[in-house]
Amino acid sequence: MSPAKRIVQVAVPSPLAQTFDYLLPRQGISPVIGVRVRVPFGKRSVVGIVTGLAADSALPAARLRTVQQVLDADPLFPPDLLELLLWASDYYHHPVGEVLSTALPLVLRRGRPAIPSGGAEGWVITGAGRSRLATHPPLRGIPAALLSTLAGHEGIAGPSVFEALSDRWRPALRSLVSRGWVSGLPRDCLVQPEPGPAAPPVLGAAQEAAVVAMTRAAPGFHCYLLHGVTGSGKTEVYLRIVSQALAAGGQVLVLVPEIGLTPQLVERFRQRCAGAIAVIHSALSETERLCAWLRARDGTARVVLGTRSAVFAPMKALRLIVVDEEHDASYKQQDGFRYSARDVAIRRSQHGKIPVVLGSATPSLESLHNARQGRYTLLQLPERAGGAQLPPVRLLDLRRLARADGLAPPLVAAVNERLKRREQSLLFINRRGFAPVLMCHDCGWIAPCPRCDARMTLHKADGVLRCHHCGSAASTPSACPVCQGQSLRGLGEGTERVEAALARVFPGACIERIDRDSTRRKGALEEKLGRVRAGDADILVGTQMLAKGHDFPNLTLVGVLNADQGLYGQDFRSAEQMFQRIMQVAGRAGRAGKPGEVLIQTFHPEHPLFLALGRHDYSGFADFALQERQEAQFPPYCHLALLRAESPRRGSALAFLAQARAAADTLGPVAGVTVMDPVPSPMERRLGRYRAQLLVQASRRPALHRFLGLWLPCITAASLARRVRWALDVDPLDMS
């Protein structure tokens, strides 16, 4: 660094969009881009990341504050990752400091050393510890012995070493840790490879073609859309190309929607990949997260297998990214920094000039459109692997069929068949609880959520009414609070009611209910899935938790109870999401040799969407849905940003959005960008707050981003901006 560069630009965790300039202290380590520094910020001291070095600042020198401490010798973020994060901050118009801190494990955000810590069976000496050893006055006694021994053991030692020094080493070590001179190493957080018993299967022709296409491609960025029906062997394709990338010395990033639901996937990677795996998901402790992050960064983890936030894992030898179930909504963060991990992954591949594979049985319409436009390469696996057949789909016309507790007679008969053959059935219903509405049959009163524009769901097992939007709960009233009548009844069906009805109809059957309520306890889901796989369950009733990635060899019937919901959804994506969910859940039937069957209850058996479902024709559905999107000018035929606002005061959110709208008008027209009028959100009141939104639509992305860049400062400056809570969502997924 030239001596003239005495200013550092620092991204601090703050809702302000810019970085802040600080003076470097006269002595101490000179920071480089990507290291953490501790800086004064307002009245606090915060940890920020250096994003730039400069000779001077726009601020007068007298107003500049000084860096208090440089926390790292080397950059925490490899340059490519820092570049990606800066891009993401720009693209999502989200404050750079918050973006950078999202990408860091909490422990590092707090300024702790970037070495593993806690839950230890081994300890390392820190930089501060080494400095302490080198300074006067020297340490004395057991602490001194421990510290210098550690320094001599390449910085790492375990209990056996310390026991030889003193039998009172533990308290001394604790005091060294508390002073930041020593840090604990956690038990190894990596999943080590363990070759499985079975040889890998011989690839089918379509699998082979997909692998060959990816293997033969020239090096560099390439986005593949692997569209394979459920059970077509997509995972097998991933395993092949992941192995190739590992064999070539690379690291691989594999993103999945939810780890808890796919323990089998982790196991398959462990058996097939020649390299340690860091598994990153939301249930990790902060120490485990730090350890996984560091192992990804130092290259010990060859594979990072993780959920959304793993897309920001530092990896210096990244050669391939796989995004499994790329259509899944959980890739989009729904609050704070609202990024899409799938889209960031594609960007990361572009930056890194490496291939990315998006896999799904039901690709998002955006990705399918990109493939059809030639931006992605479409690879198709139209048939199930190993000769298994897709299950025939039968539509049950509810206009002609009576139902008891949500079940039409042909479905009950089909379950009965399975029971006789000792096979399993799965009944899918999109709602947990007993009934979605509690109504008084005397006066028509419906139990409302006190804090939302929503109805309370009846949970009979707990005897409570619960709002699924805000979590409010109340005990179920014994009489109508309006007319004091005794005729309160649950309307409609949830998983609990269906479970109870099945227990009545099939008293001898073992029924497993799988939804958020029945799996709240840690380990409950694994136990339930284990029982199902072991054949100890005859009937499964559950929500979309059942749709993802499970392989139940003895499952031959899937029933879908309330398929029509998506047809009436307020969101333009409702139909797509419903179709994907039903296709995924239908894909659970007949995966291992035994033929399966799918029954779908609907009031609209002639709807093109259900006709396509009946043929397993996702592309046919996509043709239809894409045409609708084009006619209505929705994504992927335009690009959206949604400005949301909420306030406990009725009208404030709308008033703020009106200011934002007016500010947009003062910018003059931006070609290709349309700013709509502010409207109340589809669910106007949630958690006691009134919500509103304003949609911006653009025919081209660059125009959208140019506009947002101009508009955001005006929004921030609006007089009501500090009176409401607001956020900008680029490429919004959920418009409710």
Interaction site with Zn ion (CB under 5 A): 440, 442-443, 445, 449, 451-452, 467, 469-470, 472, 480, 482-483, 485
Let me know if 389 is exposed, middle or buried by CB neighbors in 10 A (0-12, 13-18, 19+). middle
Give the shortest CB-307-to-ligand ADP separation in angstroms: 17
Contact indicator for 292, 279 with CB cutoff of 8 Å: yes
Q: Return the residues of window 286-345 that contact ligand ADP according to CB under 6 A.
A: none
Q: Which is nearer to ligand ADP, 235 or 697 (CB)?
A: 235
Residues in contact with ligand ADP, shown as a per-residue x/- string from 33 to 62 under the rule CB under 6 A: ------------------------------
> Would you state the structure tokens that stand for residue 166, as one six-digit string?
């003193």
CB atoms near residue 671 (< 10 Å)? 10
Q: Which of Zn ion, ligand ADP, none has residue 530 at its interface (CB below 5 to 8 Å by kind)?
A: none
Q: Which residues pair with 727 in a beta bridge?
A: 644
Q: State the nearest-atom distance from the C-beta of 386 to ligand ADP, in Å.
A: 3
Q: Tell me which residue of 564, 704, 574 sits closest to 632, measured CA to CA.
A: 574
Q: What is the nearest approach in angstroms of Zn ion to the Cβ of residue 448?
A: 9
Q: Which is nearer to ligand ADP, 117 or 364 (CB)?
A: 364
Closer residue to ligand ADP, CB minimum distance, 302 or 591: 591
Q: With CB cut-offs between 5 and 8 Å by kind, which of Zn ion, ligand ADP, none does residue 449 bind?
A: Zn ion
Tell me: does residue 584 bind ligand ADP (CB under 6 A): no
Q: Which is nearer to ligand ADP, 132 or 588 (CB)?
A: 588
Among 17, 115, 203, 473, binds ligand ADP (CB under 6 A): 203
Residue number with CB closer to ligand ADP (159 or 386): 386
Q: Which of 138, 171, 201, 336 binds ligand ADP (CB under 6 A)?
A: 201
Contact 252, 238 (CB under 8 A): no
* Distance in Å, CB of 497 to Zn ion, minimum: 21
428 CB-contact burial (10 Å; exposed 0-12 / middle 13-18 / buried 19+):
buried
Backbone angles phi, psi at 266, to 5 degrees: -60, -45
Helix (H, G, I), strand (E, B) or coil at 645: strand
Nearer to Zn ion, 96 or 440 (CB): 440
Strand partners, 427: 541, 559
**Which of Zn ion, ligand ADP, none does 445 bind, CB closer than 5 to 8 A by kind?**
Zn ion
Tokens of 260: 């808890």
Smallest Cα–Cα separation from 388: which of 230, 278, 497, 524?
230
Closest CA relative to residue 294, chosen from 138, 504, 78, 451: 78
Question: What is the rounded distance in angstroms from the CA atom of residue 302 to the CA atom of residue 319?
Answer: 10
Binding mask 401-430 for ligand ADP (x = CB under 6 A): ------------------------------
In the complex, the smallest distance separating the C-beta of residue 201 from ligand ADP, rounded to whole angstroms, is 3
In the complex, minimum distance from the CB of residue 479 to Zn ion, in angstroms, rounded to a whole number: 8
Residue from 68, 81, 67 nearest 34 by CA: 81
How many Cβ atoms are within 10 Å of 495's Cβ, its own excluded?
27
| Least gap, CB of 462 to Zn ion (angstroms) | 16
Handedness of CA 300, 302, 305, 311 (dihedral sign): positive
Least distance (Å) from Zn ion to the CB of residue 644? Answer: 18
Binding segment (CB under 6 A) for ligand ADP, from list 200-208, 329-337, 503-511, 621-629 = 200-208
- Cβ nearer to Zn ion, comparing 156 with 482: 482
Helix, strand, coil in percent for the chain, rounding step 5: 35, 25, 40
Contacts of 283 (CB under 8 A, 6+ apart): 259, 260
Measured CA to CA in angstroms, residue 391 lies from 230, 556, 587, 598, 612 at distances of 11, 8, 8, 6, 14
In the stretch 217-236, what mask flags binding to ligand ADP with x, by CB under 6 A?
Answer: -----------x-xxxxxxx
Stretch that binds ligand ADP, among 29-37, 119-127, 196-204, 527-535 (CB under 6 A): 196-204
Residue where the block lists tokens 């290291």: 35
Binders of ligand ADP among residues 228 to 287 (CB under 6 A) are 228, 230-236
CB of 312 to ligand ADP, least distance (A): 25
Nearer to ligand ADP, 185 or 252 (CB): 252
For ligand ADP, the closer CB: 298 or 551: 551
133-172 residues in contact with ligand ADP (CB under 6 A) are none
Q: Which two tokens stand for residue 640?
A: 């959206």
Nearer to ligand ADP, 201 or 648 (CB): 201
The backbone torsions φ and ψ at residue 462, rounded to the nearest 5 degrees and listed phi first, read: -95, -5
Query: How big is the CA angle at 87 (ends 86 and 88), to the nearest 5 degrees?
Result: 90
> Out of ligand ADP, Zn ion, none, which partner does residue 499 contact, by CB within 5 to 8 A per kind?
none
Nearer to ligand ADP, 325 or 576 (CB): 325
Closest distance to Zn ion from the beta carbon of 645 (Å)? 19
Beta carbon nearer to Zn ion, 448 or 636: 448
Which of the choices ligand ADP, Zn ion, none does residue 562 contact, using the CB cut-off of 5 to 8 A by kind? none
Whichever of 193 and 228 has its CB closer to ligand ADP, that residue is: 228
Q: Which helix (H) or strand (E) holds 84?
A: helix 79-91
> Of 546-565, which residues contact ligand ADP (CB under 6 A)?
551
* Least distance (Å) between residue 316 CB and ligand ADP: 29
> What's the angle, vertex CA 51, arms to CA 49 and CA 55, rounded to 5?
120
What is the rounded end-to-end Cα distance, in angstroms, of the chain?
A: 50
In the bound state with Zn ion, the residue whose beta carbon lies nearer, of 442 and 564, is 442
Crossing angle for the helix pair 127-134 and 141-152, nearest 10 degrees? 120
Q: Are 680 and 731 in contact (CB under 8 A)?
A: no
- Closest distance to Zn ion from the beta carbon of 581 (Å): 23
The binder of 483, among ligand ADP, Zn ion, none, by C-beta within 5 to 8 A per type, is Zn ion
Distance CA 156, CA 158 (A): 7
Bond before 648 cis per omega within 30 degrees = no
Would you tell me the crossing angle of helices 618-632 and 365-372 to the nearest 10 degrees? 90
Peptide bond into 713 cis (omega under 30): no
From ligand ADP, Zn ion, none, interface partner of 218 (C-beta below 5 to 8 A by class): none
Q: Is residue 314 within 8 Å of 292, Cβ to Cβ?
A: no
- CA–CA distance, 615 with 394 (Å, rounded to integer): 10
- Residue 303 Cβ, how far from ligand ADP at the closest point, in Å? 17
CB of 54 to ligand ADP, least distance (A): 50
Answer for the pair 471, 464: CB distance below 8 angstroms, yes or no: no
CB of 405 to Zn ion, least distance (A): 23
Query: Using the rule CB under 6 A, which residue among 48, 75, 97, 204 binds ligand ADP?
Result: 204
Per-residue binding string, ligand ADP, 378-397, x by CB under 6 A, is: -------xx-----------
Instruction: Report the amino acid identity of residue 441.
Output: H
Interacting residues toward ligand ADP by CB under 6 A: 201-204, 207, 228, 230-236, 385-386, 551
